[in-house]
Structure 1
Amino acid sequence: MAEQMLSEITEGCRLPVLRRNQQNEEEWPLAEVLGIKEQNGRKQYYVHYVDFNKRLDEWVTYDRLDVRRMQIPRKDAKTPTKNGSGSCSRPGSPDREMVVCPRPFLHFPHRDRPTNCQVNWHAWEPPSAATAPSLCEEPAGSIPKSNPSSQNGGSRRPLVSMVGRKRKALSMPMDEDSQDSSDSVPAVPLPRQTGSLVCDKSHDDIVTRMKNIECIELGRHRLKPWYFSPYPQELTSLPVLYLCEFCLKYFKSLKCLQRHMHKCSLRHPPGNEIYRKNHISFFEIDGRKNKNYSQNLCLLAKCFLDHKTLYYDTDPFLFYVMTTYDCKGFHIVGYFSKEKESTEDYNVACILTLPPYQRKGYGTLLIEFSKSL
């Protein structure tokens, strides 16, 4: 019976999955199975919790699935393809039919509570003030401003406001002699076709919906990625991906990283230091002159930005990296980027505070610095 139920779980089906919220309470939200793998002779299922942020997606074992209320996708329905062709919006999941399966009672051990990143807006204070916010976002056209609905790790995904952008007022000239002038609707601007705001049609395919990096070691921090990042395929099966915290080059083992550190001459981001106060510095990096560093920075940022589309074409951009200084060098805290020539006069293309430095005021400092340039 157990083997029969295991065979019925396929990619695309939906069923309740056990998870614990920040109050350590058990809940059974509906989740969609995106991938299946076998590790150490035991099957694991990659699930996306419906209406939850993608950063909460995870691999789970069979004992956390409620197969009695499984919804199997219909065979005649269209499913997302791996080539990513189609519109820029997330492809809808096909219609499902309910399948009821008997299931014995199972005991579930306690699970770690997921964490969530919340954006809050106040004046920037020194890093010692824990109440100050951070910001992690990627622009994708015009995004309406919204406040997070809850501090719960299982809250519905919030929209991120486009802070730090200079917007131009839209003027819609009306012809007074036109018969449609009284009830005409302003035309919706088309998506951008250049720069970091270009609509990425491959973003919502099956491959990019799944996190591919398990863990990243960056200096003294170990980071758990939130989203997919296009690192080389041979590195995605490693338990830990090692990064040089100064040049951001990636390695498959700690020994390779240690050998690199003996040769790496950088102790700060490449480029010019344009600001310093106490232990905080900003470096300006040209995406054309420092292409390797800029590409590695974008790969790292994609792990924590869901809608980031810029990876390799860094020539049109300037990157401003914020660091903290100690006796070992300048350690990256976050960054923002901007186009060298922006037709819309935007002053920010992408902005991110790394997770270890969030909720300490660095995000607001990044925003204020971008406005001052």
Structure 2
Amino acid sequence: GNKRKGRESLPPVAKKQGKKEAVASAAVNVQSNDDKSSSESKSESGGNADEHPLQVGHYLVVKYKDGSNRLAKIVESSAGSSPRSTQYYIHYPDFNRRMDEWIGAPRIVAYPSEANILGANREAQENAAKKLKASDSKGSLADLQPAVEVNPKLQSLLGNPTPTRSGPAGRTTKSRSNSVASVAPQAPVMAISTVADMEHDEHEGMDEESLLEHEEVTKVKNIKFVKLGKYIMECWYFSPFPKEYYPNGFAECLFFCEFSFRFFATKEELVRYQKKPNLPRHPPGNEIYRDSEVSMFELDGAVEKVYCQNLCYFAKLFLDHKTLYWDVDPFLFYVLCTRDERGFHPVGYFSKEKYSDMGYNLACILTFPCVQRVGYGRFLMAFSYELSKKEEKAGSPEKPLSDLGAVGYKSYWAHTILKLLRDYPGQIISIMDITRITSILPDDVQATLQMLQLLHYTGGADADND
């Protein structure tokens, strides 16, 4: 399990206070430190913290893409021709890191002298929530929503947005859609909608040191856009491309050949490469499935090493904790393509170990952002289970799942199991029967039935608790 500094037990005094008192105590500490935070932000580095260039680590309130004001933290800065032209790489504490971006001074609504108070307030509430979660005392989610007084002027900076589902330490389970109303960090509400949201953690299995090292190395996106075929996609995360492709620490765009997945720094290089005679217009490997719309290619990582490595480089731009880059030999890759008169165009892929001791039928899955919400993700999941059926064994994706992966798999499992229950001819069916028919692991079947509230105890020690 995850062992983080924020999850230690409450100190003895806090334990005696109980949940509500502990949160209230944290809130009072924030209130009493508001003036201190403001004065410290002004005096740090011997000058006014609101003067450009702003210091890394300070908070800002910035104008977001949808026009709302949001709290953000400065992660990195890049000097310009003048102090005010400095660019700042910011992280939104209420959003996943995929939403991090570079901004300039025109988008800043409130500077550190004011925003640092909101940031300190939020951090104190997050720490209180972690301690409450680690404590043994019982309580409701309402205990995590104390009313803390904040200067009305500061509170008005962020308006009255609707909270999202916050995950641990600012890494949230919110989707990438910008249509959801903004969150309200100025009123320090730990807006956790369900217990399941609290329990899901895509960083499970990483200790504190490994997590901090990962986030330090990958904290700034090195590629802003990638062009694949007719699509230009905004990148979500850092990917360890060779340094010559971003010599200044950042590249505006990389150009991928959709047939070979070779990548280039300029469009001219890509065009020259694609003019080569007899360039294959499909992925290497074997085409193992075809219908009227799509085809699936199976690639052996030990045979098609360059293609698979380049595919991993590309996938890392959209997957936070993907660690497979060079060691592709033990894996099989399944690339899903659409077809037209120009050739085969990849829209997603998944990989799996050739021999998995844990029974995993999928190691990594990605539907390319340009074609999401079409159904390709569910098709890839279903295909992985069809392979398990061919092997006559139950399978499951590697855990922990990412935030978007968890949403996709819960939906797929629910759809598959409900369809089976609807069409099943018998009156009684067991979890093992469902596993035998669908190849979904019994633990995943049980978790899905509990999520759907279809699983009830009818006897045994837990019957009285049902």
TM-score range, shorter chain: 0.5 to 0.7
> Aligned to 1:211, which of 191, 213, 221?
221
Q: Is 1:270 the counterpart of 2:284 in the alignment?
A: yes
Partner of 1:52: 95
Deviations for 1:74-106, whole angstroms, at most 9, x for unmatched residues? 9xxxxxxxxxxxxxxxxxxxxxxxxx9xxxxxx
Query: How far apart, in 2, do the equivalents of 1:221 and 1:152 lie?
Result: 25
Q: Is 1:31 the counterpart of 2:52 in the alignment?
A: no
Q: Is 1:317 the counterpart of 2:331 in the alignment?
A: yes
3-state SS in 2 of match to 1:215:
strand
- The unaligned stretches of length 5 or more in structure 1 are 75-99, 101-145, 163-189, 193-198
Show the 5 A alignment for 1:115-134. none
Show the 5 A alignment for 1:321-340. 321-340=335-354
Partner of 1:351: 365
Deviations for 1:205-240, whole angstroms, at most 9, x for unmatched residues? 1x4011110111111111110111111223234322
Query: How far apart, in 1, do the equivalents of 2:365 and 2:199 lie?
Result: 12
3-state SS in 1 of match to 2:306:
helix
Show the 5 A alignment for 1:1-373. 5-7=50-52, 9-21=54-66, 25-27=67-69, 29-39=70-80, 41=82, 42-65=85-108, 66-67=110-111, 68-71=113-116, 152=180, 154=182, 191=205, 202-205=213-216, 207-236=217-246, 237-263=250-276, 265-373=279-387
3-state SS in 2 of match to 1:255:
helix
8 Å Cα contact 2:332-2:352 kept in structure 1? yes
3-state SS in 1 of match to 2:261:
coil
Query: How far apart, in 2, do the equivalents of 1:202 and 1:216 lie?
Result: 26
Q: Pick closer, same or farther for the CA change 1:8–1:254 going to 2, 3 Å.
A: closer
Quote the offset at 1:4 in angstroms. 6.9
Please tell me the residue identity of whatever aligns with 2:218: T
Please tell me the residue identity of whatever aligns with 2:89: Y
List 4+ stretches of structure 1 deviating above 3 A. 1-4, 146-151, 153-162, 199-202
8 Å Cα contact 2:53-2:86 kept in structure 1? no
Q: What is the total number of aligned residue pairs between the two structures?
A: 268
Deviations for 1:39-78, whole angstroms, at most 9, x for unmatched residues? 465211000001211121111112322113143999xxxx
Q: Pick closer, same or farther for the CA change 1:359–1:32 going to 2, 3 Å.
A: same
3-state SS in 1 of match to 2:352:
strand
Quote the offset at 1:258 in angstroms. 1.2
Q: Pick closer, same or farther for the CA change 1:149–1:272 going to 2, 3 Å.
A: closer
User: Greater helix percent: which structure?
Assistant: 2
Quote the offset at 1:11 in angstroms. 1.1
Query: How far apart, in 2, do the equivalents of 1:255 and 1:52 lie?
Result: 36
Q: Pick closer, same or farther for the CA change 1:160–1:371 going to 2, 3 Å.
A: farther
8 Å Cα contact 2:71-2:115 kept in structure 1? no
Query: How far apart, in 2, do the equivalents of 1:267 and 1:258 lie?
Result: 14
Q: Normalization by structure 1: what TM-score? A: 0.64
Q: Pick closer, same or farther for the CA change 1:147–1:249 going to 2, 3 Å.
A: closer
Quote the offset at 1:204 in angstroms. 1.4
Quote the offset at 1:342 in angstroms. 0.6
Query: How far apart, in 1, do the equivalents of 2:198 and 2:90 lie?
Result: 22
Query: How far apart, in 1, do the equivalents of 2:327 and 2:211 lie?
Result: 14
Quote the offset at 1:363 in angstroms. 0.9
3-state SS in 2 of match to 1:347:
strand
Query: How far apart, in 2, do the equivalents of 1:294 and 1:311 lie?
Result: 9
3-state SS in 1 of match to 2:313:
helix
User: Greater strand percent: which structure?
Assistant: 1
Q: Pick closer, same or farther for the CA change 1:371–1:360 going to 2, 3 Å.
A: same
Deviations for 1:23-52, whole angstroms, at most 9, x for unmatched residues? xx422x221101101346521100000121
Q: Pick closer, same or farther for the CA change 1:153–1:44 going to 2, 3 Å.
A: farther
Deviations for 1:101-149, whole angstroms, at most 9, x for unmatched residues? xxxxxxxxxxxxxxxxxxxxxxxxxxxxxxxxxxxxxxxxxxxxx8969
Percent identity over the alignment? 43
Q: Pick closer, same or farther for the CA change 1:202–1:366 going to 2, 3 Å.
A: same
Quote the offset at 1:293 in angstroms. 0.5
Please tell me the residue identity of whatever aligns with 2:355: E
Please tell me the residue identity of whatever aligns with 2:222: N
Query: How far apart, in 2, do the equivalents of 1:351 and 1:274 lie?
Result: 18
3-state SS in 2 of match to 1:321:
strand
Q: Tell which structure's C-alpha radius of gyration is larger.
A: 2
Quote the offset at 1:316 in angstroms. 0.8
Please tell me the residue identity of whatever aligns with 1:10: Q
8 Å Cα contact 1:279-1:326 kept in structure 2? no
Q: Pick closer, same or farther for the CA change 1:8–1:331 going to 2, 3 Å.
A: closer
